[in-house]
Amino acid sequence: MLEAFSNFGISWLDPWLLLLTASGTLAGIYVGAIPGLSVTMATSILISFTFKWPVNDALALIAGVFMGGVYGGSRTAILLNIPGAPSAIATAIDGYPMARRGEAGEAIGLTTVMSVFGGFIGIAALAMFAPVISSFALMFNSRDYLLLGLIGILLVGTLSGESFAKGAFAGALGVLIGMVGLDPMTAEGRFTFGSISLMGGIPYIAAMIGFFGVAEALVQLQTLDVPAIKQKIDRVIPRLSDIKRYFWLAVRASGIGTIIGALPGTGGDIAALLAYDDARRSVKEPEVPFGEGAKEGLVAPEAANNAAVGGAFIPMLTLGIPGDAVTAVIIGALFIHGLKPGPLMLVETPHLFWFTVGNLALANIFLLIFGLTGTRLFTKIVECPKAILIPLIIVLSAVGTYAIENNPVHIYWMLLFGVLGYFLKTYGFQVGPIILGVILGPMMDSNYRRAMIGARGDIGEFFWNFVSHPISLILSIAFVLMIVSQTPLWPWLRKSIRKQN
Amino acid sequence: MSGQSTRRPGELAFICLLTLFSAAALWQAYGISGFSGLSQPGVFPMLAAATMLASCLFILASTLRTRSSREPGESVVFWRDVLPVRLLVILAMVALYLYAMPWLGFVIASGLFLFASFAYLWRKNALISLALSAGSLAAVYFLFRIVFEVVLPQGKLLPAGVF
């Protein structure tokens, strides 16, 4: 216990780590807030710079950027009606009408306090439940990991995309990209076409930066001429009466956020929308109707999306399954530092777990400080024209990709994925499942083969194992239900059940 | 399952390309180890490629069911919305920049790229674009070369140790 506590406090006492967490949080707020820059983009570029750093330094910076970025999106949602990040979509619904009434400062203040509150609940859940889940996860078999990977990719694909088929395609494409190179089990080449450079595989950092950085910059070109709207900000510190009034709503929203964040494949965006929906149903008489600037409509999604940060770390650290695109990128960072997120991580490197918990808590405190100060400077920066931002994103993406192995070929990969990502996004495909597929693909492949070897190559026994063990059965049912719910069979089933009732 | 009723310009051609790519990927995956065993290195790539192909066929079928935008003509809208001149120019600049970086080095290539793209996209006074590109390049160089100690391309055409 004492050891856990001392690891928790590492970044609180070390001035360098303190500085890194603070600058990460500050940078995250701006990155999250500036439309066109996303937390995933920033994290993937950041990883390429920090991979030579000591792991604690890198994690401190990344935790700050993640925490700040999830919150930062709310700023532009309130001020410009443009959610800076997907997790702030629900915030814009009531935040922007408040800003139009001249209450932008109040909206930002309330959002900040509730985000920090939600953040702490998520972190507390991480500290309490991750060790329990981790010891439970030690009982997981290779087929269970295969199922978890499949569920994760499909969830990201189905919840955020235009159609299930497009999500499934994106996930499978990611898996295929992850398969390129020498097979780790037999050293046989897969999709290498005799090229030596392909034998090492496609660099996933180049894929990440291409899909999230370059592709996004190209998409932003379409809205280059949309002018920025200016807002005046006055009182930022929220009223104590407001905090008291919305306390229980924030507790409930944080609970929703933590649970949704902890489910593989669902992140802050879904958590915020669900919490918003819950608030709309449960708050019977809001002061102002929802959609017209109700404070409840700000409190619920903001508490939920920051609570989802702590929640998303639970499956990431205990099962090695990312909660969403950002945690997929962070898993990539952990791999680069030679760490293997999964049930053994808490057994082998418990200090790292408690360090992460402490770090997230610290980032949350910085969030409160930076969230309530410097709003005037902030409005100036977010008004930065896209004509300046887009070339800068491309330069940063190029530096980030090159920095990993100093290999110019990687930047060509980045450009290729950037162009492909642009077309995919234009035609309604999501790029998040691709990155999940790239990262989880090799893990799923090796677990599939282990499970198949365990069944002595007998396909009947292989499938029987999925239903004859309790954990595998639950996961299999979840997987099948997920697929069935996306087919026309689902509405038909629901209709016939309703008819019978 | 796909909610849209009208087809985006160029969507059908893009889905066709994805379908062809998926079929080729499946063929290549089959070539790894064929059907020689269920735990062979080619099985999972085959499953992934088959999923891609099946989804593509499904997407293709639903795209064929949608209407294409008739006014003012699909190709006109495609070149206006999906591949406008601005995007093509920027893509050409990016390709040139990335190609030139190993030769000219990070500083010169990025400086030229930033200046050209600011001048093209922002359309302000050339001096302002020049000052802005110099300022942002200095900031990027300071942050990444000096603070983060990232090794940046030096440029084969430049004498060693210039930047």
pLDDT, position A483: 83
Q: Counting one residue from A and one from B, how many pairs have CB atoms under 8 Å apart?
A: 174
DSSP 8-state secondary structure symbol assigned to residue A231: -
Stretch B113-139: mean pLDDT: 90
Stretch B58-64: mean pLDDT: 92
pLDDT, position B78: 83
Contact: B39, A452; criterion CB under 8 Å: yes
Helix (H) or strand (E) holding B6: strand B6-7
CB contact residues (below 8 A), chain A span 151-190, against chain B: 162-166, 168-169, 171-173, 175-176, 179, 183, 185-186, 188, 190
CB contact residues (below 8 A), chain B span 37-66, against chain A: 37-39, 41-45, 48-49, 51-52, 55-56, 58-59, 62
Q: What is the mean pLDDT of chain A?
A: 85
Angular region, A266: left φ>0, alpha ψ -120 to 50, beta rest:
beta
Q: How far apart are CA B77 and CA B71, in angstroms?
A: 8
Q: How far apart are CA A245 and CA B10, in angstroms?
A: 52
User: Cα dist. A176→A444, B26, B48 in Å?
Assistant: 11, 10, 6
Phi and psi for B131 in degrees, rounded to 5?
-65, -40
- Least confident span in A145-159, A207-221, A252-266, B35-49: A145-159
Residue in chain A closest to B47 (alpha carbons) equals: A172
**Comparing C-alpha atoms, which of A108, A116, A120, A118 is closest to residue A237?**
A108
Question: Residues A441-450: pLDDT tens digits?
Answer: 888 999 999 9
Angular region, A54: left φ>0, alpha ψ -120 to 50, beta rest:
beta
Contact: B122, A398; criterion CB under 8 Å: no
Instruction: Find out whether A106 and A299 touch, Cβ atoms under 8 Å.
Output: no
Instruction: Find out whether A474 and A466 touch, Cβ atoms under 8 Å.
Output: no
Question: Residues A365-424: pLDDT tens digits?
Answer: 999 999 888 777 777 766 778 888 889 889 988 887 887 777 888 889 999 999 999 999
Residues of A in contact with B8 (CB under 8 A): 426-428
DSSP 8-state secondary structure symbol assigned to residue A189: E
Helices (H), A291-374: 296-319, 325-336, 343-348, 350-371
Contact: B94, A221; criterion CB under 8 Å: no
pLDDT, position B1: 42
Stretch A152-169: mean pLDDT: 76
Q: How far apart are CA A217 and CA A390, in angstroms?
A: 5
The distance of B93 to chain A (nearest Cα, Å) reads 10
Q: How far apart are CA A340 and CA A230, in angstroms?
A: 46
- Least confident span in A227-241, A328-342, A486-500, B59-73: A227-241
The percent of residues above 90 in pLDDT, for chain A, comes to: 29
Using DSSP's 3-state secondary structure scheme, residue A190 falls into strand
Residues of B in contact with A414 (CB under 8 A): 98
pLDDT, position A229: 57
Stretch A199-215: mean pLDDT: 85
User: Using only C-alpha atoms, what is the Rg of chain A?
Assistant: 22
Query: Which residue shows structure tokens 């192995």?
Result: A405
Whether residue B2 has pLDDT greater than 60: no
| Residue ranges per structural domain of chain A | 2-454
Stretch B94-103: mean pLDDT: 91
Q: Which of B20, B39, B101 to mutate to test the interface with A (most CBs of A within 10 A)?
A: B39
More confident residue, A162 or A401: A401
Whether residue B45 has pLDDT greater than 90: yes
The percent of residues above 70 in pLDDT, for chain B, comes to: 91
Residue B71 pLDDT level (bands cut at 50, 70, 90) = low
Query: Which residue shows structure tokens 């379409």?
Result: A222
Helix (H) or strand (E) holding B67: strand B67-68
Phi and psi for A181 in degrees, rounded to 5?
120, -170
Question: Residues A26-55: pLDDT tens digits?
Answer: 988 888 877 667 777 778 777 777 777 888
Q: What is the mean pLDDT of chain B?
A: 87
pLDDT, position A231: 62
Question: Residues A105-156: pLDDT tens digits?
Answer: 889 899 999 999 999 999 999 999 998 888 887 888 889 889 888 887 877 6
- Least confident span in A71-80, A153-162, A472-481: A153-162
Instruction: Point out which residues pair with B7 in neighbouring strands.
Output: B68
For the ranges A82-91, A205-214, B59-68, the maximum mean pLDDT occurs at: B59-68
Q: Which of A190, A205, A397 to mutate to test the interface with B (most CBs of B within 10 A)?
A: A190
Please indicate if any CB of chain B lies within 8 Å of the CB of A479. no
pLDDT, position A472: 92
pLDDT, position A212: 79
Q: How far apart are CA A123 and CA A144, in angstroms?
A: 26
Q: Which two tokens stand for residue A158?
A: 């189905």
The DSSP code sequence of A68-117 is HHHHHHHHHHHHHS--SSGGGHHHHHHHHHHHHTT-HHHHHHHHHHHHHH
Q: Which two tokens stand for residue A5?
A: 């506590």
**Comparing C-alpha atoms, which of A100, A374, A68 is closest to residue A236?**
A374
The DSSP code sequence of A4-62 is HHHHHTHHHH-HHHHHHHHHHHHHHHHHHHSTT--HHHHHHHHHHHHTTS-HHHHHHHH
CB contact residues (below 8 A), chain B span 76-105, against chain A: 81-82, 84, 86-87, 90-91, 94-95, 97-98, 101-102
